[in-house]
Amino acid sequence: MSDQPIYVTRPHLPPLSEFIPYLESIWASGMLTNGGPMHRQLEQALADHLGVEHVALVTNGTVGLITALQALEISGEVITTPYSFVATAHALLWNGIRPVFSDIDPVSFNLDPARIEAAITPATSAIMPVHCYGTPCDVEAIQRIADRHGLKVIYDAAHAFGVRHRGQSILGHGDLSVLSFHATKTFHTFEGGAIVCPDAATKERIDRLKNFGIVDETTVVAPGINGKMSEINAAFGLLELQHVDGALARRRAIDRLYRQRLAGVPGIVCPEVPPDSEGNCSYFPILVDERRSADRDAIYHRLREQQIYARRYFYPLISDFPMYRDLPSASPEQLPEASRLARRVLCLPIYPGLTDAEVTRIADLIADTR
């Protein structure tokens, strides 16, 4: 067993020798960025792999969210979840939009559709849900609410690469979906992201926005951003895409082993993916019973003592941070399910390089913590 620290996620890295031909091709072309051949190939390869119409690559998932909001001309207020990584809400602030937090469903950990309508005001222009841990949101219910009130829907799909719902890609729902290709994601390009677009016209608008709003060398039509993915990042994505199915299979095997080893451990719950969905095992959250004598933080610290760096993910809630906590919607009393979950959750390490012996050791430490 390795003596190296074990983190909650680690990048999957194919053999370096397989990457050298891509680098040589980039050097030979002399094109390092600005929509070169690797960039174009990866956009098409991802669209084919994911079963979607159009993919616009961006430099990271956060820029993807910022650009998606700008592309749809979102303003005023946007209803979103407090139970996510801070980039979800930060993207709203970067666009001058006021986040309105709504509570989550305690089973899926996603926005609870039953609570969304109570948060809608005349200033609401969109809903921005998150497919938390890759578990699909109730996309049908959310779309009905959006249609009823004339709202846009942008999905933060940072965790949802390859996730399917009722046989179809989850990324086809809403007006736009935004992926993260950060190094710790199930599919990555070192750093990167993508916006899944429903049509060519939307992709064209996004392509301009991620390149400063430039149409040609004398025409700029919007205050865009520098959000282009480099050729090196795109090339690594092309290589990684060849290995992603094997990486996902290994994640699923680790998921199964954790469930076997933790079954019957008092006070520990392993949430399930809905039966009509195919997840990607991007994270492995467990919930620790608040009544258990050894609570979540005791397990967290016990693992850290053994150089196992699990994460209380997501704790604190976004709504607890200083730039958000004064919003009326950030009150813990209005977010009871999210607040309860943040106190109970612990995400265990899961990545293709994790061995069965390491998974067993982690599960045994959890079971033995009293």
DSSP conformation class of 362: H
DSSP conformation class of 166: T
Q: Give the contacts of 11 (CB within 8 A, at least 6 positions apart).
A: 183, 184, 188, 190, 351
- Whether the CB-CB separation of 27 and 20 falls below 8 Å is answered with no
Q: How far apart are CA 103 and CA 110, in angstroms?
A: 8
Fold of the domain built from segment(s) 244-368: Aspartate Aminotransferase, domain 1 (3.90.1150)
For domain 16-239, the CATH class is alpha beta
The pTM assigned to this predicted structure is: 0.97
Which residue, 138, 134, 96, 87, is CA-closest to 115?
A: 138
Tens digits of per-residue pLDDT, 84-105?
Answer: 999 999 999 999 999 999 999 9
* Domain locations along the chain: 16-239, 244-368
pLDDT at residue 274, rounded to an integer: 86
Confidence of residue 131 (pLDDT cuts 50, 70, 90): very high
Region of residue 266 (phi > 0: left; psi between -120 and 50: alpha; otherwise: beta): beta
pLDDT at residue 149, rounded to an integer: 98
For residue 294, pLDDT beyond 60: no
Confidence of residue 275 (pLDDT cuts 50, 70, 90): confident
| Beta bridge mates, 196 | 55, 177
% of the chain residues with pLDDT over 90: 95
pLDDT at residue 1, rounded to an integer: 54
| Beta bridge mates, 216 | 219
- Whether the CB-CB separation of 154 and 174 falls below 8 Å is answered with yes
- Whether the CB-CB separation of 136 and 163 falls below 8 Å is answered with yes
Q: How far apart are CA 214 and CA 220, in angstroms?
A: 4
Fold agreement (16-239, 244-368): no
Q: What is the mean pLDDT of residues 310-314?
A: 97
> 């004398």: which residue's tokens?
218
pLDDT at residue 276, rounded to an integer: 86
% of the chain residues with pLDDT over 70: 98
